[in-house]
């Protein structure tokens, strides 16, 4: 554990060093730390969070950005706050039922760390003197609703439901801390909260002294500016793990025999520049969300035949003969789709010996979609939204990105196209 602690301190010094290099960058003064006045872990404040249990992976990524932005704002207020990355797991859509998945298995943690200091939960447990968190703050709504106008407010209130998820044992609170059974919390309080990452940072700075705090139902906190510069900075720092990027590249080159032909990522996300010149491989990509979405949105989604028709039309429009489909569909449905298509259909399925977890395979599919000549997503799917963002970051023309698959009967259901959340720098 001493070795690991040393490793953590070293990575922090590296991180501080990387901040120093960018000292000309006037927009990025927040994360700068003075190593003379800063020692680990004494004056650090650890912030961890969780999201409503039923929420899926890609909405959780969005909540992560809200929290990361809040932690940055807290640092601007002079608090040496460090974001603890919540292990992934217990997700409804992951059929392998994996828990305790580290962020490093899916994302580029050094990149996240250069937006706001971030450590894995297991590293937190190593630096913390005990696996006991100071306080759980359970965010809830105001029971009386929001009275017409939306104002930022927060107030400690009796728990409406928060205490049902925790149980007191030997004077400490027990609950779901990412499935790690030894973790406890000293205090639990419920806070009725109506506000964004800015007002949340204010609340933390003003009302709490803590060494470690666990914010439950973090999705209650809204974005201060959805689609604004800070949003995109957080999003750009959320790069995928290099291994998964490489896996997607191998698939495109090896299986699809295509070239990527997109603006390469710069070494650091901070150096990325606006561009609209990427062409992408000569294939169309579609996110074809099935399973629970069919129950939820039924007639707003295309049938299998309708899907084939739209893929064919899009391939024709862009003059390509290959299609990649990211999908959670049953194999039988994919086979049927293939029968309706004259062009070659590709799907990504990892080999068993690769030991790629469900969550990682899904990301590989997202990456492959993000490098296509054109992409069409599924209606209101956050999985699709994240692909659109990746294409914005990678410099694709807007008209190749913000599309969706339409229902068969457009005259009856319409086919409103997705909002164009264009990247801003
Ligand atoms: N491999 C793979 N998995 C997918 C695909 N679409 C959805 N999934 C899985 O299902 C999950 C979908 O949940 P989210 O990531 O929350 O996205 P969403 O489409 O908004 O779904 P909801 O959470 O149900 O609203 C993904 O994270 C994957 O685990 C796909 O095209 N390929
Ligand atoms: C935070 O502190 C202020 C001022 O002391 C108080 O009015 C407010 O109720 C507190 N909020 C919470 C959520 O504890």
What is the tens place of the pLDDT at every residue in 182-203? Answer: 999 999 999 999 999 999 999 9
Distance 93 CA to ligand 1 centre (A): 7
Contact call for residues 341 and 313 (beta carbons, < 8 A): no
Q: What ligand 2 atom has the least distance to the C-alpha of 191? A: 13
Contacts of 75 (CB under 8 A, 6+ apart): 30, 31, 81, 116
pLDDT-derived band at 10, boundaries 50, 70, 90: very low
Contacts of 136 (CB under 8 A, 6+ apart): 162, 166, 173, 175, 185, 187, 188, 189, 213, 214, 215, 216
Specify the residue with its C-alpha closest to ligand 1, atom 31.
Answer: 327
What is the tens place of the pLDDT at every residue in 195-247? Answer: 999 999 999 999 999 999 999 999 999 999 999 999 999 999 999 999 999 99
Q: What percent of the chain has pLDDT over 90?
A: 83
**207: Cβ below 6 Å to ligand 2?**
yes
Tell whether the model's pLDDT for residue 11 goes beyond 90. Answer: no
What is the tens place of the pLDDT at every residue in 306-362? Answer: 999 999 999 999 999 999 999 999 999 999 999 999 999 999 999 999 999 999 999
Q: What ligand 1 atom has the least distance to the C-alpha of 325? A: 31
Q: Among all ligands shown, which has an atom nearest to the Cα of 367?
A: 1
Alpha carbons 231 and 72: distance in angstroms, whole number: 12
Q: How far is CA 247 from the centre of its chain?
A: 19
Across residues 242-256, what is the average pLDDT? 97
Taking phi over 0 as left and psi of -120 to 50 as alpha, with beta for the rest, 100 belongs to left
Distance 294 CA to ligand 1 centre (A): 13
Mean pLDDT of the chain: 91
Specify the residue with its C-alpha closest to ligand 2, atom 9.
Answer: 155
| Token reading at 180 | 């790690």
Check 24, 55, 230, 336 and give the catalytic one. 55
Which residues are bridge partners to 168 per DSSP? 173
What is the tens place of the pLDDT at every residue in 149-183? Answer: 788 999 999 999 999 999 999 999 999 999 888 99
Specify the residue with its C-alpha closest to ligand 1, atom 1.
Answer: 362
Alpha carbons 382 and 57: distance in angstroms, whole number: 9
- The sign of the dihedral angle between the CA atoms of 327, 386, 58, 113 is positive
Distance 258 CA to ligand 2 centre (A): 58
Distance 227 CA to ligand 2 centre (A): 30
Contact call for residues 291 and 381 (beta carbons, < 8 A): no
Nearest one of 73, 389, 85 to 226, comparing CA atoms:
389
pLDDT at 41: 53
**95: Cβ below 6 Å to ligand 2?**
no
Distance 173 CA to ligand 1 centre (A): 32
**154: Cβ below 6 Å to ligand 2?**
yes
Q: What is the pTM of this model?
A: 0.90
Q: What ligand 1 atom has the least distance to the C-alpha of 382? A: 20
Q: How many residues does the chain have?
A: 425
Alpha carbons 26 and 49: distance in angstroms, whole number: 30
Question: Which residue is associated with the tokens 């460090």?
Answer: 82
Specify the residue with its C-alpha closest to ligand 2, atom 4.
Answer: 207
Specify the residue with its C-alpha closest to ligand 2, atom 13.
Answer: 155
- Coil, strand or helix at 75: helix
Distance 194 CA to ligand 2 centre (A): 13
Contacts of 175 (CB under 8 A, 6+ apart): 136, 165, 166, 167, 185
Taking phi over 0 as left and psi of -120 to 50 as alpha, with beta for the rest, 390 belongs to alpha
Q: Is 55 a catalytic residue?
A: yes
Out of 328, 383, 387, 418, mutate this one to test ligand 1's pocket (max ligand atoms within 8 Å of CB): namely 383
């Amino acid at each position: 554990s001493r070795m690991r602690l040393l490793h953590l301190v070293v990575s922090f010094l590296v991180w501080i060093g990387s901040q120093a290099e960018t000292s000309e960058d006037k927009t990025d003064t927040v994360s700068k730390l003075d190593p003379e006045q800063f020692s680990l872990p004494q004056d650090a404040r650890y912030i961890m969070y969780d999201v409503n249990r039923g929420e899926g992976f890609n909405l959780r990524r969005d909540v992560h950005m809200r929290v990361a932005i809040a932690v940055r704002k807290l640092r601007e207020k002079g608090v040496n706050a460090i974001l603890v990355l919540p292990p992934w797991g217990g997700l409804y859509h992951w059929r392998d039922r994996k828990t305790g998945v580290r962020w490093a298995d899916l994302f580029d943690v050094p990149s996240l760390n250069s937006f706001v200091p971030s450590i894995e939960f297991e590293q937190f447990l190593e630096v913390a003197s005990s696996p006991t968190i100071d306080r759980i703050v359970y965010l809830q709504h105001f029971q009386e609703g929001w009275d017409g106008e939306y104002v930022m407010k927060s107030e400690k209130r009796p728990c409406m439901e928060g205490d049902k998820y925790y149980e007191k044992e030997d004077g400490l609170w027990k609950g779901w801390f990412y499935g790690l059974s030894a973790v406890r919390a000293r205090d639990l309080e419920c806070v009725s909260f109506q506000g964004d990452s800015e007002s949340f940072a204010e609340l933390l700075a003003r009302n709490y002294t803590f060494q470690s705090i666990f914010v439950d139902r973090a999705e209650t906190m809204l974005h201060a500016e959805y689609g604004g510069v800070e949003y995109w900075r957080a999003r750009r720092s959320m790069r995928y793990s290099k291994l998964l990027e490489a896996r997607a590249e191998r698939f495109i080159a090896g299986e699809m025999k295509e070239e990527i032909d997109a603006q390469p990522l710069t070494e650091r996300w901070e150096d990325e520049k606006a561009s609209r010149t990427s062409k992408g491989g000569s294939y169309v990509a579609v996110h074809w969300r099935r399973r629970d979405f069919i129950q939820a949105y039924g007639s707003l989604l295309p049938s299998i035949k309708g899907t084939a028709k739209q893929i064919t039309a899009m391939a024709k429009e862009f003059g390509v003969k290959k299609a990649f489909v990211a999908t959670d569909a049953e194999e039988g449905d994919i086979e049927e789709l293939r029968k309706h298509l004259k062009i070659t259909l590709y799907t990504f399925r990892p080999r068993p010996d690769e030991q790629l977890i469900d969550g990682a395979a899904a990301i590989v599919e997202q990456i492959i979609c993000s490098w296509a000549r054109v992409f069409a997503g599924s209606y209101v799917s956050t999985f699709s939204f994240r692909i659109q963002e990746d294409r914005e970051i990678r410099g694709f023309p807007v008209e190749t990105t913000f599309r969706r698959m339409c229902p068969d009967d457009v005259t009856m259901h319409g086919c409103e196209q997705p909002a164009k959340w264009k990247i801003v720098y």
